Amino acid sequence: MKVLVTGGTSGLGHAMAAALAEAGSAVALTGRSGERARSVAAGLPGAIGIELDVRDEASVAAAVDEAWSRLGGVDMLVNNAGIGMRTVNPRFMTDPQGFWEVPPESFRAVVETNLTGYFLVAREVTPRMLAAGGGRIVNISLNESTMRRAGFAPYGPSRAGSEALSRVMAADLRGTGVTVNVLLPGGATATGMLPPGSVPEGLTVLDPAIMGPPIVWLASDEAAGVHDERIVATEFEHWLQSRLR
């Protein structure tokens, strides 16, 4: 399996890229810094690092072209690149801002990365997959509670939009051989998006490695034809068992 993972230098993206590479997939991981992407990829078996700014159409086209050329195609796209609330309000966990206090440029930056970025990369990859006869797209999301939580504009709306986009993509691609699914951790994860010391007492924070088993399964032969599903990593084993009954 040849896989392109956007935002693969840290957090959930790195955890998924590592799990896929260790399971035998050929992985291209991306980051805004090409140097960092290449450095991180060097630590994974057979992986390559590519510079990509998902907000920029020219950067997207160049990165997809490079991944396609160096991997010999892309069987799966993992749309993961995103920025969190720390870029808007560093104290979002302890001192949330009302949406009316969010600077417009910050709102646009999050939406352009977390939603428009998913669109741009999928838009570039999909025609190639269709021409190749098939492929898989996995869009990374988060809990629905975050989409309506006080103080979470624009992060919550950006991820709600990515879920709606995923459903539309799945509807558009039904029956084409290109599948679209949504994957989310199922809770707060220990990534750079959470400010140090901001986690409330009693809140369980998930290890990003929880994304490994479901993303490896989605890249497997067993997952061929699985389409328009919303898979929660914390519930993956139960979800998988229910499919086998």
Catalytic residue annotation: 155
Which alpha helices (DSSP H) does 42-192 contain, by range? 57-71, 104-111, 117-132, 155-173
Bridge partners (DSSP) of residue 199 are: none
CA distance 241 to 9: 32
Phi, psi of 29 (to 5 degrees): -110, 145
Region of 175 (left: φ > 0; alpha: ψ -120 to 50; beta: rest) is: left
Reading across the β-sheet that carries 2-5, which strands appear in turn?
48-51, 26-31, 2-5, 76-79, 135-140, 178-184, 230-232
The answer to whether residues 14 and 41 touch, using CB atoms and an 8 Å cutoff, is no
CA distance 20 to 18: 5
Nearest residue to 113 (alpha-carbon basis) of 135, 86, 151, 133: 86
Can you read off the two tokens belonging to residue 131? 């021409």
CA distance 3 to 29: 8
